[in-house]
Amino acid sequence: DTGVSQNPRHKITKRGQNVTFRCDPISEHNRLYWYRQTLGQGPEFLTYFQNEAQLEKSRLLSDRFSAERPKGSFSTLEIQRTEQGDSAMYLCASSLDGTGGPPGELFFGEGSRLTVL
Amino acid sequence: GQNIDQPTEMTATEGAIVQINCTYQTSGFNGLFWYQQHAGEAPTFLSYNVLDGLEEKGRFSSFLSRSKGYSYLLLKELQMKDSASYLCAVRDSNYQLIWGAGTKLIIKP
């Protein structure tokens, strides 16, 4: 396993278009997180899944954002009717509950950078 | 509200020691993490503290005082490759990670 992978790595779109990002977590990791990060800021929590169940969604997340993890493996994050303020790096991370290491250690993907023109 | 404070930027010299501080106010506490993030890359895990005291891992050490809501990351024998942002994150009572904005560390020869 080569870690968390995300695609596309870069996406440029026009305002109003829809975009979808995909995340493949480390296999056997049961938790999957989506974060958004802008320059000079830490990651901002968007949502997370425990297996296929979406357990929490940030109150800051508008209805234009939706995420799925249909089979408890890969996940998609869709942004509808994109706005310029959506321009950011979208990070996916996964973790394994009950691991012998530090609980909640997140392994991040390389991110998907979105630019909305 | 929940808050994590770190200095925005620090500069240090190659071979020296630097301490990056982090103070936090969160709803509950279930551990504190330090991550390293190079420009344009994903954060990578450095350390985890849940009990008071110092955790040492090679050139990097992390300290925690829960009563003071305070942690620091200590980097020794600085190398140019240590130039990066260092993110402090606290896991709150809901087991969610609250992230600081990160400290950009610039290493000069």
pLDDT digits (tens, 9 = 90+) for B1-42: 789 999 999 999 999 999 999 999 999 998 999 999 999 888
The answer to whether B49 touches B61, Cβ cutoff 8 Å, is no
A92 Cα to chain B: minimum distance (Å): 9
How confident is residue A71, by pLDDT bands cut at 50, 70 and 90?
confident
The CB density around residue B76, as the number of other CB atoms within 10 Å, is 14
Q: Which residue has the higher pLDDT, A53 or A1?
A: A53
Q: What is the structure's pLDDT at A100?
A: 46
Q: What is the structure's pLDDT at B97?
A: 86
Q: Does A25 touch chain B if contact means CB atoms closer than 8 Å? A: no
Q: What is the structure's pLDDT at A59?
A: 82
CA atoms of B25 and B82, how far apart (whole Å): 28
The CB density around residue A84, as the number of other CB atoms within 10 Å, is 9
Tokens of B5: 């404070």
Work out how many CB contacts closer than 8 A connect A with B: 51
Lowest-confidence pick of A27-31, A59-63, A101-105, B5-9: A101-105
